[in-house]
A and B are shown apart, each in its own frame.
Chain A
Amino acid sequence: MSSTIDAEGKSRRATRRRFLQGGTAVAGGAVLGAGASAAADTDNLPPSIPEWMKAPGEPMGGQPYGTPSPFEKGVVKNISKTLKQYVSASGRTPLQELDGIITPNGLFYERHHGGVPTIDPAQHRLMLHGLVERPLIFTMDDLRRFPSESRIHFLECSGNPGYIKPYGKTASDLVGLVSCAEWTGVSLKLVLQEAGLKPDAKWVVAEGADAAALTRSIPIEKCLEDALLVYSQNGERLRPQQGYPLRLFLPGFEGNMSVKWLRRLHVTAEPTYSREETSKYTDLLPDGTAREFSFYMEAKSIITRPSGGQRLSAPGFHEITGIAWSGHGKIKRVEVSVDDGKSWQDARLQEPVLTRAFTRFRLPWQWDGKPAVIQSRAVDETGYVQPTLAELLAVRGENYFYHNNAIWPWRIAADGEVTNALA
């Protein structure tokens, strides 16, 4: 009996290894593509009974906090291996591996300026001071007593991507510093109201409790419009990488302004002109002037399937799908071209279309097997149309660095290989 079990156990482990290898190939990116390495193994295919039906599976309790299937182990954050240092650095969401509009918490993009602090929520405080009637200090319990609110919004790093070559190979390489989640917290307006704003209150300087003590100035209009003090993301408490236990969230504004590990709100009459809003996160123009306080992320879209690094298995039906978003409100339309920009057709938008959130778009497509260039362009509710890279470069030059919301076309070769058409 025991030898039988051993034999089965070995057999199962061997098969599992083969499938893990197959799984890695899938995660490496193929629209179709899973087949190659698994095709040799037919033991679990019809008419045979799959081995995972012939014995009980893993018992309850092996994973108190669930993790993805081992076959999905290649679906991870896209973190460059060649950064000069990793304390002030970023990691990207693998956009081309994801469906729908919600980014799983473990795959949400990250950008830190002084590493990820480990903060005991019992010892965390939010101080609210400056041009207020009553300077206040809040505990996390205090903040959770306020009326709560949940909203779905995207968050995007201001530099996603830059303007100069080399351009990324995959959707994640290109624009992976954007993600979307449901955020829960308290309206900043309510918290400011608790302290009472003085008439000359025009800005709120937010500071993080990280080693960068990162500081950004937020116009009071935004603070009173739709800003949140967030403690939960996608239903669970914020991850440390996203600001646990508390972050500011400014829908539609460049990501670094949604200050993580938020510990202080300083109400002022003027911006503080911190290093992050002068020497960094300003947009340099060819004439040597630089735009400051450039908050909004403008309308943008990217096709995530088929996209760079993937391969179309065969001519015939393929769904083209991707995501669109705008810091200025709702996506009104996403147009897709499959003929190198000669003609455009409207993609179907996934409902509900939410303000300042990812909007998933889809377009059915018959690929004739010939080389093609496909691309998407977003139009938001203000009527703004996502520009081409050439149009942006003509106005902004190559050293603007931030707020690149260009269209990124994908080239499909006759063998189905998908690559960046601008690279």
Chain B
Amino acid sequence: MRWRETCGVAAAIALGAFASEARAQSPYGIGRPATAAEIAGWNIDVGRDGSNLPKGGGSVSHGREVYAQQCASCHGEKGEGGLGDRLAGGQGTIGTAKPIRTVGSYWPYAPTLFDYIRRAMPQNAPQSLSDEEVYAVSAYILNLNGLVGADATLDAKSLAAVKMTNRDSFVGDARPDVKK
């Protein structure tokens, strides 16, 4: 966030002036209005706080089945990795010489897991899983990392409440960092 601070006040003033100016009218009259239904169909962005997560939920046990069918061939039976990234383990290694970056050890926000699986996984058929299946697989991967119990069922609220181990380890961009 240091970058934003650096840009600072001048940019904020410029933006404020621009924003009020731009509110008036469409300068070129190009494009057509996007309807609420069109936006709802395309907007799959989930915030780190879980905003815009869909209704419904999924259980670890269901997730285990979906994972075995859809994910294990690339990510390994227990998330140990293969053709795809390793998903489980590695907690405690991030500050060592051999960090193992996984969902459990490195990812700061659990809702991002839902967001990413829904939009990009499985790699051969993205956006093919139902919301319930995405919740379930997310729950299973979190369970593989010891972050939720084997009997857990996650929905929008409980997924957002999962505390990721590496959550507070991200800092702003401190470059330039090599002093001459």
* Contact of A137 with B1 in the complex, beta carbons under 8 Å: no
CA distance A403 to B176 in the complex (A): 11
Contact (A224, B14) CB under 8 Å given A275-B116, A290-B170, A290-B171: yes
**What 1/0 mask marks residues of chain B from 16 to 57 whose CB sits below 8 Å from any chain A CB?**
101111111011101111100011001111111000000000
* Contact of B126 with A211 in the complex, beta carbons under 8 Å: yes
Complex contacts, A113 vs chain B, CB 8 Å: 120
CA distance A384 to B178 in the complex (A): 9
**What 1/0 mask marks residues of chain A from 3 to 34 whose CB sits below 8 Å from any chain B CB?**
00000000000000000000000000000000
* Contact of A221 with B11 in the complex, beta carbons under 8 Å: yes
Interface residues of A in 293-311 (CB under 8 A from B): 293-296, 298
Complex contacts, B16 vs chain A, CB 8 Å: 199
Complex contacts, B94 vs chain A, CB 8 Å: 284, 288, 290
Give the contacting residue for A291; candidates B19, B120, B171, B176; CB below 8 A. B171
* Contact of A201 with B19 in the complex, beta carbons under 8 Å: yes
**What 1/0 mask marks residues of chain B from 81 to 124 whose CB sits below 8 Å from any chain A CB?**
00100000000001111010101001111001001100110010
CA distance A408 to B175 in the complex (A): 20
Complex contacts, B20 vs chain A, CB 8 Å: 199
* Contact of B127 with A291 in the complex, beta carbons under 8 Å: no
8 of the cross-chain contacts (CB-CB < 8 Å) are A129-B39, A192-B22, A195-B26, A213-B119, A274-B116, A279-B103, A290-B170, A290-B171
Contact (A215, B45) CB under 8 Å given A136-B34, A396-B177: yes
* Contact of B1 with A293 in the complex, beta carbons under 8 Å: yes
Complex contacts, A211 vs chain B, CB 8 Å: 120, 123, 126
Main SS at interface, chain B: loop
CA distance A194 to B24 in the complex (A): 10
Interface residues of B in 121-145 (CB under 8 A from A): 123, 126-127
* Contact of A196 with B22 in the complex, beta carbons under 8 Å: yes
* Contact of A220 with B107 in the complex, beta carbons under 8 Å: no
Interface residues of A in 372-386 (CB under 8 A from B): 384-385
- Measured between C-beta atoms, what is the minimum distance from B7 to chain A in Å? 5
Residue A289 lies at the interface, judged by CB distance under 8 Å to chain B: yes
Residue A415 lies at the interface, judged by CB distance under 8 Å to chain B: no
Number of A-B residue pairs with CB-CB distance less than 8 Å in the complex they form: 195
Residue A278 lies at the interface, judged by CB distance under 8 Å to chain B: yes
Residue B162 lies at the interface, judged by CB distance under 8 Å to chain A: no
Give the contacting residue for A135; candidates B15, B39, B96; CB below 8 A. B39
- Measured between C-beta atoms, what is the minimum distance from B118 to chain A in Å? 9
- Nearest 5 pairs between A and B by C-beta? A288-B95, A213-B119, A275-B116, A136-B31, A135-B34
Complex contacts, B170 vs chain A, CB 8 Å: 278, 282, 289-292
Q: Give the nearest-CB partner of B180 in chain A.
A: A385
**What 1/0 mask marks residues of chain A from 201 to 213 whose CB sits below 8 Å from any chain B CB?**
1000101000111
Q: Give the nearest-CB partner of B123 in chain A.
A: A87
- Measured between C-beta atoms, what is the minimum distance from B130 to chain A in Å? 17
Chain A interface category by residue count: 35 or more
- Measured between C-beta atoms, what is the minimum distance from B23 to chain A in Å? 5
Complex contacts, A85 vs chain B, CB 8 Å: 83
Chain B interface category by residue count: 35 or more
Interface residues of A in 140-164 (CB under 8 A from B): 142-143, 145-146
* Contact of B43 with A129 in the complex, beta carbons under 8 Å: yes
- Measured between C-beta atoms, what is the minimum distance from B75 to chain A in Å? 12
Beyond the given A127-B34, A290-B106, A291-B172, please list 5 additional residue pairs across the A-B interface where CB-CB is below 8 A.
A190-B28, A211-B123, A273-B112, A274-B116, A384-B176
Contact (A220, B112) CB under 8 Å given A279-B103, A403-B175: no
Q: Give the nearest-CB partner of A292 in chain B.
A: B170
- Measured between C-beta atoms, what is the minimum distance from B26 to chain A in Å? 5
Contact (A197, B34) CB under 8 Å given A212-B120, A221-B11, A284-B94: no
| Stretch of A231-239, A241-249, A264-272, A337-345 at the chain-chain interface | A264-272
Residue A317 lies at the interface, judged by CB distance under 8 Å to chain B: no
* Contact of B11 with A134 in the complex, beta carbons under 8 Å: no
* Contact of B45 with A279 in the complex, beta carbons under 8 Å: no
Residue A138 lies at the interface, judged by CB distance under 8 Å to chain B: yes
**What 1/0 mask marks residues of chain B from 138 to 176 whose CB sits below 8 Å from any chain A CB?**
000000000000000000000000000000011111111
| Stretch of A58-66, A171-179, A357-365, A387-395 at the chain-chain interface | A387-395
Contact (A212, B115) CB under 8 Å given A279-B101, A291-B172: no
- Measured between C-beta atoms, what is the minimum distance from B21 to chain A in Å? 8
Contact (A197, B22) CB under 8 Å given A287-B95, A291-B171, A294-B175: yes
Contact (A219, B15) CB under 8 Å given A136-B32, A196-B22, A197-B22: no
Q: Give the nearest-CB partner of A193 in chain B.
A: B22
Contact (A275, B115) CB under 8 Å given A137-B38, A205-B45: yes
